[in-house]
Chains A and B, each alone.
Chain A
Amino acid sequence: MAAAGGKTYSFKVVLLGEGCVGKTSLVLRYCENKFNDKHITTLQASFLTKKLNITGKRVNLAIWDTAGQERFHALGPIYYRDSNGALLVYDVTDEDSFQKVKNWVKELRKMLGNEICLCIVGNKIDLEKDRHVSVEEAEGYAESVGAKHYHTSAKLNKGIEELFLDLCKRTLFLNAVYTVSLSVFHNTTGFMINQNCVFQSATWHCSFTHKQLIMFSVVL
């Protein structure tokens, strides 16, 4: 891209997950570095923004909290429309909340395809002794749907910074791949197939470094 140096990327990330899994704590910890603070000056924790700089690229991250109650589940599409990433949060001590995450993944993949960067987040790892969702199961599932799995604790401020940084990198990469594949495969009959192929690899090989992946996508 020509304006790669000066351009500011704006990414929208939705927080999905059952109520009480700690969505709000997670994002408050990340944006304000606060947890259960009595002197909180923030008026609300449902829409927060964070400015990042990733290898010279400026990113404005807008984090949209969603209502987790079951009765609002049907409103999901209105929230996650046009989002670049989704954080699917579950509580490691709550098997049910993990099931909810699986439902969300199915829905997101169905509605948005592979254009969205999925992060499955097991929160509350400070309660390790009460864990009800095994690490293997969660990570295995994440890999099977082309998502990445993270462990966090909003209380102990563990894994959160890494989570969001990784999310941004992957979103940037997806963005680049999407642009490149558009220019490469545009007007060819194989567009859809190729596009899918690139996206699949994009989501499944997120352990590559950002630079490698960009090169990889250019080669494609």
Chain B
Amino acid sequence: MSQRSERRGIHVDQSELLCKKGCGYYGNAAWQGLCSKCWREEYQKARQRQIQEDWALAEKLQREEEAAYVSSHSSSQTQPPQSQSQQSLATFSKFEEKKTNEKTRKVTTVKKFFSPSSRTAPKKVPPEKESEKEEKLQGRRESHGENLLRDLKGIFTQPWEMASPTEESHEGKTPSPSITRQSSIETDRVSRDFVEFLKTLQKLGRDIHKQSRGFIESMGNKNDLSAEELSECVQDFYQGMSDRLMNHFKGSSEKVDRVMDQVEKYIMTRLYKSVFCPETSDDEKKDLATQHRIRALHWVTIQMLCVPVDEEIPEVSDSVVKAITDIIEMDSKRVPRDKLACITSCSKHIFNAIRITKNEPASADDFLPTLIYIVLKANPPRLQSNIQYITRFCNPSRLMTGEDGYYFTNLCCAVAFIEKLDAQSLNLSPEDFEHYMSGQASPRQQDDPAAWPQSGSRVNPALSQIHHNLKLLSNLEKRQQEVTEGAQNLQTELSEWQDSVAREVQEILERYPLEIKPRASAIDAENVENDRLPPPLQPQVFAG
């Protein structure tokens, strides 16, 4: 192990990074050292041939190879995984913005190191004729990793989830996709739920499970396909599956829908990482463009869009906040249907806000501007990628006619509107629009200062809130001043009173000076019956 990791960094030089076909572009180890273009050509050829392979042959090969593996185990271990090092290097330098993607890939790379398949990774891959053989070879070796993993999994999962023999042969044939290894807690949970659900369908359930797994495996090979081709594969699968189910349930579309929802959930949870915002598409670029666009439009107000929502009403602003939260949350969901559910929930909150404001059911005339406003306020992450993902991989029956589809269409409209938005669509003059866009002016600064409180409340709820608070504060300050003034008054009054009292006392004292007459004589002189009194008590001294 340590030996291998030491060699990793040293063995790469510039020439090895270039496409093996010598077309001058950089190659990628993930594409057998070819550049994307050459690899696609090669791969298409190889795949055509491979499709013709027999299942039985694959099974036979696997048995043979199991024996071969034991003998070749020690020798192959020492071979340096040249291609692996290239891959990790390539991924490190690639696309700074795809941080999340990169992270998962790095994890995969590490995982690959620990899986037996990496030990047998070939040093150099012959580009043309041998690619097919190589594919097979790799596939067979890969299957050991798979088997190992499955054995491990089998300890924790129900026996039913374990693959059937035919499936094993299938896996043995195709190079295993990395997605199956990236089983996070969520995918495990979804798989378990799926299996639980399918148990209720008995034989049909087993059939569905087999097909779904097979499909996921086969999708693992198609990383180089364009997003549209991937979409086609998934849609074909949906179509085939729902046709079969339609036959089985004898046309009960309700049951078919129920099963299809589960199938979609299972498949898309598994495929999410590889097909969401794929590198072959420019979704990411569009995401960034939209994000910048929305940021540049931060100055757009409720009035410009004629949004029939009054955020002064606490209930309404509550709904607005909820709607924003929902639309942002969409990005965190994996299954297209769950993403749609987020949009629907967001729309419901919007309707609620409109109904409270206008006191009548919301029409599309009200709804669309409000949705646009919400999208502008929320600036949902990876909006374009999410929309594309839903369009490509959602079960079409849901997207075309249902309520979810309607809200999704509105979201698409909102995004299209934001992209094309100009001065006219906001009822502004082109000059004003330019000024606002360039940040030279803000719609709020043009308001007459005198009219500030009124227009402030119309311009922006946060601003009006601030204004309101300021007014409260200034009121408070005034009152506080009054209180301190009152207190000071009271203090001076008090001290004045004290002084005046003191003065008065002094005056009286001065006016009536105190004369103290000798007390004893006065009493004795007036006391006539003095003699009858008993003699006064005299203190007596006791000895001891």
Q: From A62, which residue of chain B is reached at the shortest CB distance?
A: B401
- Quick one: CB contact mask for A5-40 with B, threshold 8 Å, 1 for yes? 011101010010001000110001000000000101
Q: Whole-angstrom distance between the alpha carbons of A65 and B407 in the complex?
A: 11
B362 CB–A CB distance under 8 Å: yes
In the complex, which residues 346-365 of chain B have their Cβ closer than 8 Å to any Cβ of chain A?
A: 348, 351-352, 354-355, 359-365
| Stretch in contact with the other chain, from B212-220, B291-299, B409-417, B430-438 | B409-417
Q: Whole-angstrom distance between the alpha carbons of A10 and B253 in the complex?
A: 12
* Contact B406–A78 (Cβ < 8 Å): no
Known contacts: A43-B352, A72-B413. The answer to whether A64 contacts B406 by CB under 8 A is yes
* Contact B363–A24 (Cβ < 8 Å): yes
Q: From B425, which residue of chain A is reached at the shortest CB distance?
A: A71
Residues of B within 8 A of A8 (CB): 253
A141 CB–B CB distance under 8 Å: no
* Contact A40–B361 (Cβ < 8 Å): yes
* Contact A46–B413 (Cβ < 8 Å): no
* Contact A66–B253 (Cβ < 8 Å): no
A82 CB–B CB distance under 8 Å: yes
Number of A-B contacts (CB under 8 A): 88
Q: From B360, which residue of chain A is reached at the shortest CB distance?
A: A40
B374 CB–A CB distance under 8 Å: no
* Contact A45–B409 (Cβ < 8 Å): no
* Contact A45–B413 (Cβ < 8 Å): no
Q: Whole-angstrom distance between the alpha carbons of A66 and B407 in the complex?
A: 11
A215 CB–B CB distance under 8 Å: no
Q: Whole-angstrom distance between the alpha carbons of A64 and B368 in the complex?
A: 12
Contact pick for A67, options B253, B360, B364, B420, CB 8 Å: B364
Contact pick for A12, options B359, B362, B401, CB 8 Å: B401
B154 CB–A CB distance under 8 Å: no
Contact pick for A72, options B253, B355, B406, B417, CB 8 Å: B417
Contact pick for B413, options A6, A47, A75, CB 8 Å: A75
The contact size tier of chain A is 35 or more
A178 → chain B closest CB, angstroms: 16
Residues of B within 8 A of A49 (CB): 403
* Contact B364–A46 (Cβ < 8 Å): yes
Residues of B within 8 A of A71 (CB): 417, 424-425
Q: From B417, which residue of chain A is reached at the shortest CB distance?
A: A75
Interface of A, helix, strand, loop or mixed by DSSP: mixed
Known contacts: A42-B361, A44-B361. The answer to whether A79 contacts B401 by CB under 8 A is no
B77 → chain A closest CB, angstroms: 57
* Contact B253–A79 (Cβ < 8 Å): no
Known contacts: A10-B401, A64-B406, A78-B416. The answer to whether A3 contacts B251 by CB under 8 A is yes
B107 CB–A CB distance under 8 Å: no
- Quick one: CB contact mask for B419-445 with A, threshold 8 Å, 1 for yes? 010001100000000000000000000
Q: Whole-angstrom distance between the alpha carbons of A41 and B506 in the complex?
A: 84
Residues of A within 8 A of B417 (CB): 71-72, 75
Residues of A within 8 A of B416 (CB): 74-75, 78
Q: Whole-angstrom distance between the alpha carbons of A65 and B412 in the complex?
A: 15
Contact pick for A78, options B351, B354, B369, B409, CB 8 Å: B409
Known contacts: A42-B361, A44-B361, A69-B365. The answer to whether A62 contacts B253 by CB under 8 A is no
Q: Which 4 residue pairs across A and B have the least CB separation, nearest first? A: A24-B363, A65-B364, A67-B368, A47-B406
Which residues on A are within 8 Å of B, measured CB to CB? 3, 6-8, 10, 12, 15, 19, 23-24, 28, 38, 40, 42-47, 49, 60, 62, 64-69, 71-72, 74-75, 78-79, 82
**Further pairs besides A43-B352, A44-B361, A44-B367: 19, Cβ < 8 Å:** A7-B251, A10-B401, A19-B365, A23-B364, A44-B354, A44-B362, A45-B362, A46-B363, A46-B364, A47-B406, A49-B403, A62-B403, A67-B413, A69-B306, A69-B369, A71-B424, A71-B425, A72-B417, A74-B420
